[in-house]
Chains A and B, each alone.
Chain A
Amino acid sequence: MVSKKMLGLLLVLPALVMIGVFFILPLIASVIGAFETPEGAGLSNFVKARELYSEDILFSVLIVTLASLLIGFFAIAIGGYLTLGENPRAVAILRWLYRWPLFIPFIVVGQTLRTFLARNGLMNNMLVGSGLITPDQALSFLDWRGIVIAFVWKQTPFVALLVAGAMASIDRGTIEAARNLGASRPRILIEIVVPQVLVTLTVGLILSFVTMMSVLSVPLMINAQSPTMITADIAFRINAYGDYGVANALGFISLIITSTVAWLYLKLSVKERS
C-alpha cells in the first residue's frame, strides 16, 4: 500500500519538480526582486512604478477589460448563431471560419494590423476607395484602439469555441419550448441560452483577460508610447536601464491584477463542480 503511494508520488515528481524549478522559483525570485533596492529591502521600486507608470497600469486594465467585454459580446453572437442559426450553409461557413485566429500568434496579429490599421493603410484605403470616407477623414488606429482590435480579433475565437461548445450541450428542449411560445431568436439567445452558459463564458473571459495582460508583442508592434501596456514598460525598464527592480515591481502589480481575476475563476469553477 505504502509502496503504491510512493510510486504515485514518484510518477508526479518530475512534473512537480518542473513546476517548482521553472515556474514557482522564478516567480518567487521576481516577487522578492520587486522589494530589493540598492538601499536594502523597501518599497522604492513601487513608488517609482506608481510615479511613472500609474497611467499605464490603469490603461492596461481598461484596455483589457474593454477587450474582454467585446470578446464576450462577439463570442455570444458567434455561439448563438451556431446554435440557433437556421441557414445550414451559413452555419457551416461560420463554423469553419471563426476558429482561424486561434492558430495565429499574437506577434503576427500585431504585425498584420500595423499596416492594416495605419492612416493610409489597407483598411482606410478600402473605405476611401468605396467612397465611405474621404482621405481627410482617414484616421490612424495605431493607438489603444489598435490594441483592443488586435486582442478582440485574436481572443474571440477562443471564447467562442468554449461558449459554442457549452451552448451545444444545453437541453434543446428549453430552446424549442421558448420557440413554440413565439420567442424571437435574439430573445431566446439572451434569456434562455446565455444564462445557461454564463459560467463557461465567464471562465473563457477570465482566461482571456489573463492572457491579454501578458502580451508584449501587440503593444510593441502597435503602440509602445504612453499610455501603453504594463508589459511594454517592463521590457523598457530592463532593456533601457537594466533596472530589474522596477520591472519586478510592475510584474508584481500585474500579478495582483491577474490573480484577482484568477481568484474569481477559482471561485466559479468550484461553483461549477458542486
Chain B
Amino acid sequence: MKHAVLPALLALGLAAAPVTAAELTVVTAGDQNMVDYVNNYLAPLFEKQNPGDTVRAVGTGPGDAGSQKIIERFAAQAKAGSAAWDTDVAVAHEKFIGPMIKEGYLESYRDKIPTGKMVTRGNADMALGSPVKGYVMPMFNSQTAIAYNPALLPNPPKTYEEIAAWAKANPRQFGYNGIKGGASGVSFVMGWIYAFGEGDAQKLMNGPFDEAETKKWDKAFQSLKEFTANATLTPGNAGTLDMLSRGEIAMGPVWVDMFYSWQADGRLPPELKLFLPAPGMPGQPMHYVIPEKAANRDLAEKFVALATSPEVQADGIVKRFNWYPGIDAEFVKPKLDEATWNKLFIDIPPEDLAKYGKPFPISPYNNAILEAYERQAAQ
C-alpha cells in the first residue's frame, strides 16, 4: 500500500506543476554561508518572482579549491561535448574567470541585463590581468583593511610608512598572521610590496608577468623582515581579531566583512575601528558567471539581474553579510537605512575605498611574492 501511494503522489505533483517549470542550478564556491545565502535568501525571492521555477544551490567548497572545482566541472562538460550543461549560474573567485573565458565556457551577458550598467569598479572589467568585461557581474567586493583600537591610538597611521614607523616605536603592538594563516596576512604583505617594492605596482596588478620585476623586492622584504621581528604573529584571520579583542595587539590587518560580522555578534568590542592605508591594500570580488551552454540561460540572466539589483545588494549583501556591494555603492545607498550605510562606510569612506581598494597581484606575481616572503622575510 505504502509503495503505491508514493509514486501516485509524485505523479500527481508532476502533473500539477506548470509546464514551463525549470530548475535553476546555482553552483557556488566559498563557505557554507554562500550556499545558505542562495538557498535561504535569493531562492525564495526568485521563486516568488518566477512562480513554478525552483533554484538549487550547490557548494563546491571554500577558497580557490572551490572555484577550481567549478572550472573542472565546465572542462569536463566541454570535453564531453554536452549540449546543455548542468550549471546555470556559477559564483567563482576572480582568479578563475580569465581561464574560463579563454576556454570559451562563458556567455557575455552584462549588457543584456538591466543591472549591468550599475557596475563601475574596474575589477569587473579586468580580473587579475585578464579582460573579463561583459562576462561577469560582481556578487560583492570584499576588502582587507587595518583594524585598530582607538583607545590605544587615537590618531591611527594613514600610510604603510606610518604603520611601519608606529610598529617600530611600539613593539609587539602590531599583529598579523604571516602568509600561512589566511588571506588577511597575505593581503598585508601584498600591500607592503605595492608600497615599498621598487617595481611598478600597477604592473603587479595588471600584468604582464616579467621575471625582472620579481628582483625588485629585496629591500622591501628586508624591511618587512625587520618589521615582522618587531610585530606579533597571530594564528590566522580570526586569530588577529581575537588578539585585538583581548587587547593583546593594538592594530592588525583584517577582512572588513569579518570585522563587522564579529562586531555585530558581540565578539569584538564596538569601539574598534578600521582604516585603509595608502597606497592601498588588496581585496577581491566574487563574480556571477553564466555558462554559454547553460540549460536555462534566460532564467539564469534573470537570476543574476535579481541578485545584483540595488534592493538585493542592499539587503542581502551589505546588511546581512557586511560585504561591499558588487554594483556601484551610489545605487545601493537609497535602499539602505542610514545606520547600515554608516556602519559600512563611516570608517572607510567610499572615496578611500575607490582610491586604496586594490586588486591582488596577478597570479604569477602573487606566487613569486609569497615565495620571496618565505625565502627572505620568514627565515
Contact of A225 among B181, B242, B367, B375 (CB under 8 A): B181
Asked if residues A236 and B248 are in contact (CB atoms below 8 Å), the reply is no
Does B155 interact with chain A (Cβ within 8 Å)? no
Instruction: Give Cα distance in the complex from A225 to B228, angstroms.
Output: 11
Instruction: Give Cα distance in the complex from A107 to B180, angstroms.
Output: 17
Residues of chain B within 8 A (CB-CB) of A221 are: 235-236
Q: Name A223's closest neighbour in chain B (CB-CB).
A: B235
Residues of chain B within 8 A (CB-CB) of A211 are: none
Q: Is the interface of A mostly helix, strand, loop or mixed?
A: helix
Asked if residues B246 and A121 are in contact (CB atoms below 8 Å), the reply is yes
Contact of A224 among B64, B65, B178, B248 (CB under 8 A): B178
Does B370 interact with chain A (Cβ within 8 Å)? yes
Nearest CB in chain A: distance from B252 CB, A: 14
Q: Name A119's closest neighbour in chain B (CB-CB).
A: B248
Chain B's interface size range is 20 to 34
Q: Name B182's closest neighbour in chain A (CB-CB).
A: A224
Asked if residues A119 and B181 are in contact (CB atoms below 8 Å), the reply is no
Q: Name B232's closest neighbour in chain A (CB-CB).
A: A140
Instruction: Give Cα distance in the complex from A222 to B324, angstroms.
Output: 31
Residues of chain B within 8 A (CB-CB) of A223 are: 233, 235
Asked if residues B236 and A224 are in contact (CB atoms below 8 Å), the reply is yes
In chain A, positions 218-251 with a C-beta closer than 8 Å to chain B are: 220-226, 228, 232-233, 236, 239-241
In chain B, positions 333-373 with a C-beta closer than 8 Å to chain A are: 367, 370-371
Asked if residues B378 and A225 are in contact (CB atoms below 8 Å), the reply is yes
Instruction: Give Cα distance in the complex from A120 to B149, angstroms.
Output: 16
Asked if residues A119 and B178 are in contact (CB atoms below 8 Å), the reply is no
Instruction: Give Cα distance in the complex from A223 to B379, angstroms.
Output: 15
- Additional A-B contact list (19), CB under 8 Å, known A222-B235, A225-B233, A228-B180: A55-B379, A118-B242, A119-B243, A119-B246, A120-B246, A120-B248, A121-B246, A140-B232, A140-B248, A221-B235, A221-B236, A223-B233, A224-B178, A226-B379, A233-B180, A239-B63, A239-B64, A240-B179, A240-B180
Question: Which positions in A face B, CB cutoff 8 Å?
Answer: 51-52, 55, 114-115, 118-121, 140, 142, 220-226, 228, 232-233, 236, 239-241
